[in-house]
Structure 1
Amino acid sequence: MSNVLKPVPDQSTDRDDDFTRDDMLEVLSNQRRRFVIHYLKQNGDDASVSEITDRVASWEYGKEIDELTHRERKRVRNALRQFHLPKMADYGFIEFDSRQGTVELTETISHTNFYVDSLTDNSVPWGVYYLGLSLLSAICLAGVWLGIFPFDRFSPLLWGLFFVTTLSVSSVGHFYDNYYRMRLGARETPPEVTEK
């Protein structure tokens, strides 16, 4: 799990939610709670426990909602109602009405972006990617400086243009990956769920 952004302050809220880094990491340390936040951000910040249960169980078991068994739904629903939703409410992430069976993100959390670094399939961590890019750049610069073939075939200006272009394209890709793939609520499925 990667960095968690600080809440964006909203002047209209009555509560003075001041989440510490530990609070955020505690709530986000569990996949089911991340799934709840993702679902609520995708669906207007509020939903019934039943709707959340179906979607969380679907993501957890890798099945369509209509393929879930009663036992799978019950297992997720009980864990959500008895542990995860009350804990999220205690930390001020949601408002949970157990009698009505409704869940709603608090104002602060609905305006907060959470980024989850999840390596799926054969993904390469961005840190490793940039380390490789730096190593390649150092080798190329050393080759240009020493006048070694094929590095001496291009002017230092062209090599500089190559490095700036490569870094720019990588940065745009990294931004896209973080903002559209790793942010809870940005896609239809959470970052940890591999699409079929």
Structure 2
Amino acid sequence: MTRDAPLRATDAHHLLSNARRCETLRVLSSRPGEPSLELRELSERVAATEAGETPAPRPLRRSVYNALHQTHLPKLDEHGFVSYDAVRKRVVVRAEARELIRYMDTLGPAGLTWGEYYRGVGIVGLCLVVAALAALPPFALVDPLLWASGVLVVFAVSTLYQLLAAPVGGRVGLFWLWLDLRELHGRLNGRR
């Protein structure tokens, strides 16, 4: 199924209310260039994350396999975020999953979103520049232009990290750019 309407926040939170569905999306989106995955491998990865060890205990792997097959993958497929072939036991992440993953866009153990992180960096940078301009003792030692330049460097490095890092923990990376280009290429070739 493809998504016709935009994703509502309540639907996103409902879909992400289960840790196994969240981890499924993380695993699928962390494989740049390989959007398709067999159910067995997916369930082993999700179970390993739950157990905190690799390989996960066999009963947990079975439980995760059954839950993904019977409940979670059909639900994600029904909403158009993955394509799940229950006969071949293969899962393909769809470009529409970006809508859902943005709700998982957290950074580190503090649980900040990238947006909150960037706002924080901006506020700290503004305070540093204002403090230097106001000639407050420790801050006045450094030129305000250097404070501003330092904050811009932090923004640039953070943005580069966000784009280049593997999309672990729900961060969106180059995988989605690749998926968009692949989809665009398919559409262009279909029109010829």
What TM-score, normalized by structure 1, do the two folds share? 0.65
| Cα deviation, residue 38, structure 1 | 2.9
Greater Cα radius of gyration, structure 1 or 2: 1
Task: Summarize the Cα distance change of 1:150–1:39 in structure 2 as closer, same or farther, 3 Å threshold.
Answer: closer
Assess if the C-alpha contact under 8 Å between 2:125 and 2:147 holds in 1.
no
| Cα deviation, residue 17, structure 1 | 4.5
Per-residue CA deviations over 1:55-78 (Å, capped at 9, x if unaligned) read 11112222122xx11111122122
Gapped regions of structure 1 (runs ≥ 5): 1-13
Q: Verify: 1:20 aligned to 2:10, yes or no.
A: no
Assess if the C-alpha contact under 8 Å between 1:96 and 1:102 holds in 2.
yes
Q: Which of residues 136, 139, 149 is equivalent to 2:131? A: 139
What amino acid is aligned across from residue 75 of structure 1 in structure 2?
A: S
Local SS of the residue matching 2:61: helix
The structure with the greater share of residues assigned to helix is 2
Q: Residues of 1 paired with 2:93 and 2:78: CA distance?
A: 12
Partner of 1:179: 163
Per-residue CA deviations over 1:106-140 (Å, capped at 9, x if unaligned) read 3x337879441133279896233433332222211
Task: Summarize the Cα distance change of 1:61–1:149 in structure 2 as closer, same or farther, 3 Å threshold.
Answer: closer
| Cα deviation, residue 150, structure 1 | 7.4
| Cα deviation, residue 83, structure 1 | 1.8
After TM superposition, which residue ranges in structure 1, 4 or more long, deviate above 6 angstroms?
110-113, 121-124
Q: Number of paired residues?
A: 163
What amino acid is aligned across from residue 190 of structure 1 in structure 2?
A: G
* RMSD between aligned residues: 3.4
Q: Verify: 1:60 aligned to 2:47, yes or no.
A: no
Q: Verify: 1:120 aligned to 2:109, yes or no.
A: yes
Sequence identity, in percent?
A: 21
Assess if the C-alpha contact under 8 Å between 1:53 and 1:76 holds in 2.
yes
Gapped regions of structure 2 (runs ≥ 5): 172-192
